[in-house]
Amino acid sequence: MPDDDLLVLAPYIRIGVQDRTLFLGFGSIRQAVLDRKLWHPLVRLADHFRHGRTRAEALSFLRVTCDVDESTAQASLLMLEHGHCLIPARAYDPGDRYSRHSLFYTLSGASPEHVQARLEASHVVLIGCGGIGNLVAVTLATAGVGALTLVDADRVETSNLTRQFLFTEADVGSLKCEVLAREIGRRNSECRVRSLPVLVEDRAGLRGLPESDLILLSADSSGLTRLVNSHSVAAGQPWMNACYVNDVAVWGPLVVPGLTGCWDCRTLAASAPEEDPELAALIADVNARYQAPSNGPVNMLASSLAALDALRHLGGFGVPASLNRRMGVWSHELMLDGQSAQRALSCPTCSHVTHES
Ligand SMILES: [Zn+2]
């Protein structure tokens, strides 16, 4: 920011003393101030920035009004400038629809206007409108993603209501994608939502989907993952997976063709042994009877972390946690698990692909 810009203290800055240390800001931007002679100047300066001030005005305030020496004044201002404590005056408009998200983007070191414009220009295709699709769709739409295509041929069932929270008892029997589109329209009428009640199960089905900035796959069919991956890599289309593996909430990898690893770069999930057809057939029989123990909170974990990574990717703030990684939260043990999904030069699917920006 230029020196003559008017700055204010970011609204997310709080100050507190714990164990004889003053803490400026909390969360990941927390700064510990051990030097007690800085405490008073720092807090007075933070208070001074309740109105727009230039750096020169702030230093003059400390030097003249507070009778603080030059080096202490400079050190105090420097501390406030670290950790995104100061933001441009008028950058925060509490009445703006996206104002709290704007603070989050600022906290992450990004320009809120830039992030919001990118989100508004984005189109996401969601394959699967179940537990994860419900929450990802509404999170992206209310954050200002400009367009969503909701793909699902299923109808709402009573057993869905434990986790597919945008559906009600009155929606049982209705198409999921259409109910979800209706609910999104009630929450952000500026989001352009299209519902596609089709079953996507092969390459032809994938080719029938509109072009987008991101495909988010949250469908039950495990065979679809590799198909979506090869389709997306061939089309230069970013995609990511979000699911649960029993009690583990899983998201990623976020695949950006030509830039990151893809699903086929490494073995990310178990499969049938190709060298033993008899055993493979028996395993297929056992697995055909599998029913996932789907749970509301585990769906929320996977969908919230997947949606945050999707917003990071689309909006250009922070770094998606699932770039080159397939992440999991073990809900019972509260353990974070990460499988490497780094690019392999020998990958049969993506080794020839270069990134087009
Ligand atoms: Zn690959």
What pLDDT is recorded for position 150? 98
CA of 42 to the centre of ligand 1 (A): 51
Q: What's the CA-to-centroid distance between 256 and ligand 1, angstroms?
A: 10
- What does 12-61 look like in DSSP terms, one character per residue? T--EEEETTEEEES-GGG-EEE--GGGHHHHHHHHHHTTS-B-HHHHHHI
d(CA 129, ligand 1 centre) in Å: 27
The residues, ordered by sequence, that sit 6+ positions from 60 with a Cβ below 8 Å of its Cβ are none
**Which SS3 state, helix, strand or coil, does residue 2 take?**
coil
Question: pLDDT value at position 1?
Answer: 61
Cα(229) to centroid of ligand 1, in Å? 9
Q: 22, 37, 31: which is closest to 68 by C-alpha?
A: 37
Model pLDDT, residue 353: 84
Supply 52's token pair: 């727009």
Q: What pLDDT is recorded for position 3? A: 65
Cβ-contact 138, 184 below 8 angstroms: yes
Distance (angstroms) between ligand 1 centre and the Cα of 14 equals: 45
DSSP 54-85: -HHHHHHIIIIIS---HHHHHHHHHHHHGGG-
Phi-psi region of 49 (alpha: psi -120 to 50; beta: other; left: phi over 0): alpha
Ligand 1 centroid to residue 21 C-alpha, Å: 49
- 257 CA distance to ligand 1 middle (Å): 8
Q: Quick one: pLDDT at residue 357? A: 55
The Å distance, Cα 263 to ligand 1 centre, comes to: 6
Helices (H), 49-201: 55-60, 70-81, 99-107, 112-120, 131-143, 176-187
Pairing status of strand 147-151 against strand 123-127: parallel
Neighbours of 54 (CB within 10 A): 15
pLDDT tens by residue, 317-343: 999 999 999 999 999 999 999 999 999
Cβ-contact 5, 86 below 8 angstroms: no
Domain boundaries, the chain: 7-88, 122-340
The residue count of the chain comes to 357
pLDDT of residue 83: 78
CATH 3.40.50.11890 fits 122-340, yes or no: no
Predicted local distance difference test score (pLDDT) of residue 270: 87
In 3D, which of 259, 263, 262, 207 has the Cα closest to residue 235?
207
Q: Mark the ranges of the chain whose per-residue pLDDT is less than 70.
A: 1-3, 222, 356-357
What's the CATH architecture for 7-88? Alpha-Beta Complex (3.90)
Residue 182, sorted as left (phi over 0), alpha (psi -120 to 50) or beta, turns out to be alpha
- For strand 147-151 and strand 192-196, is the pairing parallel, antiparallel, or unpaired? parallel
